[in-house]
Amino acid sequence: MSNVDPSRTFNLGDRSVRRLGYGAMQLAGPGVFGPPKDHDAAVAVLREAIAKGVNHIDTSDFYGPHVTNQLIREALHPYPEDLVIVTKIGARRGADKSWNPAFSREELTAAVHDNLRNLGVDVLDVVNLRIMFDVHGPAEGSIEAPLAVLADLQRQGLVRHVGLSNVTRKQIVQGRAITEIVCVQNQYNLAQRKDDALIDDLAREGIAYVPFFPLGGFTPLQSSILSDVAARLGASSMQVALAWLLQRASNILLIPGTSSLGHLRENLAANGLALGDADVAELDGIAGSVA
Ligand SMILES: NC(=O)c1ccc[n+]([C@@H]2O[C@H](COP(=O)([O-])OP(=O)(O)OC[C@H]3O[C@@H](n4cnc5c(N)ncnc54)[C@H](OP(=O)(O)O)[C@@H]3O)[C@@H](O)[C@H]2O)c1
């Protein structure tokens, strides 16, 4: 039976997706590099996500590299009609597992073709341009040249919709003058709330906001406030972290990452968890306590 409440949806371009999706990055090997520790478990996680009603998967060909896209294709191709796969370009991996900018026309074009081939599709649903002026967070700088290349690939029919990742408000404004931007993917969670005002602005514009590291990333969130609220509600801390994001704004789409079937089921069950005003007020204190 589906775990994901079909009434909670938001548009990614011309497609409506359920707000609780899945992020595939954790399926690659340690350091998001090389094959998974347990290949069959990775395939099972992807199939279970779809069986439980997920119709939005976030990936990139630089996870592995190529590994997560190839796993997605193996597990799910031919894809369900309602599935929207969002990928990203703009980085390349070094042999030392480093993340390096890859913004030349040649690199961006090759990245789109790598994604098409490894996912086994003729057109990519959504491609995020991942900005790399600072790999760890948004930093100012013009995104015009690389975004113009992606817009060209869109005009050629290889990319349906375009999004931006790791960007400032100024870069979003610049991007929207070049092509339609359907989603923004930045780091945001209970403890990292620099984008609070941006999220509300994007909601008014009908643009999806897709927080990466919704659970805190490689070291999941830990907070006594979070565990106290979770204990009171009879839920797990990760479920409360996701429920808080779902209630935070209607344009937030979730892509929690996991390589574990148990965690996947737990995370998808967050859809049924309602937080009261007092819970939200308490949870809002987490950002202040870690700032
Ligand atoms: N645009 C960007 O720059 C960018 C950057 C990073 C990530 N992303 C995207 O965002 C997605 C989500 O980010 P993320 O996967 O890095 O971080 P995340 O979703 O915040 O957290 C993933 C971590 O939490 C653990 N976890 C998941 N569910 C859990 C649960 N119920 N209980 C305890 N631990 C749990 C996972 O380990 P287990 O595997 O053991 O469950 C993993 O270590 C990625 O998959 C990727 O698609 C984008």
Distance 216 CA to ligand 1 centre (A): 7
Nearest residue to 17 via CA among 67, 53, 49: 53
Mean pLDDT (the chain) is 96
Give CA torsion, residues 281, 283, 204, 215, to 10 deg: -170
Quote the pLDDT of residue 1. Answer: 37
Quote the pLDDT of residue 108. Answer: 98
Distance 145 CA to ligand 1 centre (A): 30
Q: Which two tokens stand for residue 71?
A: 């796993």
CA distance 184 to 195: 11
79 flagged as catalytic: no
**All structural domains of the chain:** 9-220+252-258 (3.20.20.100)
Low-confidence ranges of the chain (pLDDT < 70): 1-6, 289-291
Quote the pLDDT of residue 291. Answer: 46
The DSSP secondary structure of 152-167, one letter per residue, reads HHHHTTSEEEEEEES-
CA distance 99 to 169: 23
Cis peptide upstream of residue 35 (ω within 30 degrees of 0) = no
CA distance 121 to 117: 7
Cis peptide upstream of residue 78 (ω within 30 degrees of 0) = yes
pTM of whole model > 0.85?
Answer: yes
CA distance 236 to 221: 12
Q: Which atom of ligand 1 is nearest to the CA of 266?
A: 31
pLDDT tens, residue by residue, 44-66: 999 999 999 999 999 999 999 99
Q: Which atom of ligand 1 is nearest to the CA of 239?
A: 31
